[in-house]
Amino acid sequence: MTASAPHGPVVARTPGELRSALAGAGRVGLVPTMGALHGGHRSLVRLAREHADTVVVSVFVNPLQFGPDEDYGRYPRDLDADVRVLAEEKADVVFAPATETMYPAPQMVTVDAGTMGERLEGASRPGHFTGVLTVVAKLFHLVRPDLAVFGEKDAQQIALVRRMVADLDLPVEIVGAPLQRDADGLASSSRNGYLSEAERTSALSLPRALQAGREAAPGGADAVRAAARKVLDEAADATPPVQLDYLALVDPATFEEAPADHTGTAVLAVAARVGTTRLIDNTSVPL
């Protein structure tokens, strides 16, 4: 097992430093993040610790997954604060490369997310999942982990990572970590810090809509969608309003819309904007 420094994890900024830090590492678990770490990220690190001898957390704000009108420039960055969090969680290595380290030249070859990557988040954010899968593939090659932990809040993302691993025969076990919520029920997210008090109150309609959908599950897929949409329609008239991007009940393996007669587990997913902040949330629904 890689020994953490007395006051925290080893911080590696280059592939060479990363290789040195992982010498004799044993079973390696990777937690890919973009920093701005919160309680949800802590849960990922703890889960990785259960499965691995050495836990590596990457902190990299990946430009490839941001669109031209998205929040790449203002995305919170505070590596010192992140390292303090990871010291508390006893992570062993922090891989924090500069953008020019990960992309020393324009990225000409990328990982295509296919039709699954064009649905929901992919439809709202064209090219997003190509950027995600490309950086995840690069991290897998650099860290060479035995397993990688991803949060289930990003349900479509983890489904696509699993599909990439299967389709490309990558020797990495993908472990899903349950979605974490703040005390008021809002899904934990680095972007929650953008919300004003009034905006946060409006944003709580997202978890309420998901709960309403779950409670309507005995009535079938259409009842689930109708119950959730009713909550969000009311939230559209709130102050400030919730501007719905999408609400969908989908097959968890393909993210295709679940038909009215769907049986088994489905994912009820929502994305909405409150003020200038875009939020996502989801829940599993047994049908």
pTM of the complete model: 0.92
Kindly state the percentage of the chain with pLDDT values over 90: 94
Kindly state the percentage of the chain with pLDDT values over 70: 98
pLDDT at 279: 97
Query: Mean pLDDT in the chain?
Result: 95
How many residues does the structure list for the chain?
A: 287
pLDDT at 140: 98
Feature table: binding site for beta-alanine: 65
Structural tokens at position 210: 């998901």
Query: Would you call 197 exposed, middle or buried from its count of C-beta atoms within 10 A (0-12, 13-18, 19+)?
Result: exposed
pLDDT at 242: 98
| pLDDT tens profile 51-65 | 999 999 999 999 999
3 phi and psi angles, rounded to 5 deg: -85, 125
The pLDDT confidence band at residue 8, using thresholds 50, 70 and 90, is: confident
Kindly tell me if the per-residue pLDDT of 6 is higher than 60.
no
Say if residues 245 and 124 touch (Cβ distance below 8 Å). yes
- The predicted model gives 238-242 an average pLDDT of 97
pLDDT at 4: 45
- The predicted model gives 238-251 an average pLDDT of 97
- Catalytic hit among 7, 41, 141, 262: 41
| pLDDT tens profile 177-231 | 999 999 999 999 989 999 999 999 999 999 999 999 999 999 999 999 999 999 9
- The predicted model gives 244-269 an average pLDDT of 96
Q: Strand 54-59's sheet: what is its strand order?
A: 10-12, 93-95, 54-59, 28-33, 147-151, 173-177
Feature table: binding site for (R)-pantoate: 65, 157
The pLDDT confidence band at residue 69, using thresholds 50, 70 and 90, is: confident
Q: Is 262 marked active-site?
A: no
* DSSP states of 50-68: HH-SEEEEEE---GGGS-T
pLDDT at 74: 86
| pLDDT tens profile 86-126 | 999 999 999 999 999 999 999 999 999 999 999 999 999 99
Kindly tell me if the per-residue pLDDT of 29 is higher than 50.
yes
* CA angle at 103 for the pair 102 and 107, rounded to the nearest 5°: 135
User: Is the CA virtual torsion 231, 236, 240, 243 positive or negative?
Assistant: positive
* Cβ-proximal residues to 127 (8 Å cutoff; 6+ apart), any chain: 64, 65, 67
Q: Which of 156 and 75 is assigned the larger pLDDT?
A: 156
Kindly tell me if the per-residue pLDDT of 2 is higher than 80.
no
pLDDT at 229: 98
- The predicted model gives 20-28 an average pLDDT of 96
Say if residues 146 and 173 touch (Cβ distance below 8 Å). yes
